[in-house]
């Protein structure tokens, strides 16, 4: 059976993954610093209003032990539908954004499609299914290698690899920032927090965990900057500073770090609230993601039509 212990509160392992990779790869921090310098230069030149739509080819690796973990094509499609709505600002719950921030809501114009051609040029449905003997994967990238019970990545420069599996320890998912090892690049998702149907379980059954993790993959940080003393930054200018992650479904406004009267932008996809309480990316976040797609992840969208 699928893991029925879906956590009551959001948990993201991306920063833990960052620190793990820093220890394993001595050059990772320097590469990220170089990427950040290039990102800031790209942001200075970018006009978000004039961005053209781009397509990101995806391959979904479904890793299952029990039959119900072998999630359906329909559940996978439901997740793509959410990603495409959220990254094109067509999500039906967008009106939930408080009026004071409605002008900041941006449209990333990023479309996600399952690959139709594999790395060798053969026809594919963009879904790989692998049976495993592993009860629950930890945050050690085991799901990314056939040798450890997972599924080997497709060319991570040309495809967004997304591994969907049973995760141990209450983890909902994690992603790898740009600049990390190519063989493990991509997004990992808990199968009960993926899509809007099948075995997806509340409060993470509206597909927003993937929206959040793909944001990390495109070089977004948590909105509170991953500190506890108001000193952190998400490196985006149009998100208010906040002290800590918000959970569940807060009432607006929630004030921290002297950010009144409007308080925390907890309805942002990069906070930790429940799926039905997050509705938006800001224009600044979108500029940062699009700088990533024109920089360290440019090969994802280059000639994407040949893969989708």
Cis peptide leading into 43, omega within 30 of 0?
no
Distances (CA, A) of 70 to 61, 64, 65, 307: 10, 5, 8, 24
**Active-site residue identified among 17, 37, 183, 213:** 213
The set of residues, in sequence order, having a beta carbon less than 8 Å from that of 110 and lying 6+ positions away, is 53, 54, 55, 56, 87, 88, 218, 289, 290, 293
**Residue 20 tokens, joined:** 């793990």
Element (H, E) at 85: helix 73-86
Distance, CA of 103 to CA of 162 (rounded, Å): 32
The set of residues, in sequence order, having a beta carbon less than 8 Å from that of 251 and lying 6+ positions away, is none
Distances (CA, A) of 194 to 39, 79, 181, 205, 293: 30, 6, 25, 7, 24
Helix axes 14-24, 28-45, angle to 10 degrees: 130
User: Distance from first CA to last CA of the chain, Å, rounded?
Assistant: 33
Distance, CA of 198 to CA of 208 (rounded, Å): 15
Is there a catalytic annotation at residue 213?
yes
The burial of 254, by beta-carbon neighbours within 10 Å (0-12 exposed, 13-18 middle, 19 or more buried), is given as middle
The set of residues, in sequence order, having a beta carbon less than 8 Å from that of 291 and lying 6+ positions away, is 38, 39, 42, 43, 46, 219
Active site residues: 213
């Amino acid at each position: 059976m699928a893991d029925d212990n879906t956590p009551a509160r959001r948990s993201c392992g991306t920063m833990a993954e960052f620190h793990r990779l820093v220890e394993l790869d001595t050059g990772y921090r320097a590469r990220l610093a170089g990427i950040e310098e290039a990102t800031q230069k790209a942001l200075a030149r970018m006009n978000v209003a004039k961005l053209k739509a781009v397509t990101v080819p995806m391959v979904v690796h479904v890793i299952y032990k029990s039959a119900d973990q072998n999630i359906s094509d329909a559940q996978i499609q439901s997740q793509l539908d959410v990603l495409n709505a959220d990254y094109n600002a067509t999500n039906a719950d967008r009106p939930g954004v408080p009026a004071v921030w409605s002008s900041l809501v941006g449209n990333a114009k990023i479309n996600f499609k399952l690959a139709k051609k594999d790395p060798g040029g053969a026809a594919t449905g963009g879904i790989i299914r692998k049976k495993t003997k592993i009860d629950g994967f930890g945050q050690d990238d085991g799901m990314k290698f056939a040798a450890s019970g997972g599924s080997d990545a497709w060319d991570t420069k040309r495809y967004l690899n997304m591994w969907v599996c049973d995760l141990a320890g209450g983890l909902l998912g994690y992603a790898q920032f740009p600049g990390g090892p190519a063989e493990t690049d991509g997004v990992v998702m808990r199968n009960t927090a993926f899509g809007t149907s099948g075995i997806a379980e509340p409060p993470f059954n509206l597909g927003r965990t993937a929206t959040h993790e793909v944001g990390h993959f495109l070089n977004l940080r948590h909105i509170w900057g991953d500190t506890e003393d108001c000193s952190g930054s998400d490196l985006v200018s149009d998100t208010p500073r906040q002290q800590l992650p918000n959970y569940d479904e807060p009432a607006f406004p929630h004030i921290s770090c002297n950010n009144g009267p409007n308080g925390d932008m907890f309805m942002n996809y990069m906070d930790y609230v429940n799926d039905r309480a997050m509705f938006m990316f800001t224009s600044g976040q979108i500029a940062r993601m699009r700088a990533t797609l024109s920089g360290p992840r440019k090969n994802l969208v280059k000639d994407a039509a040949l893969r989708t």
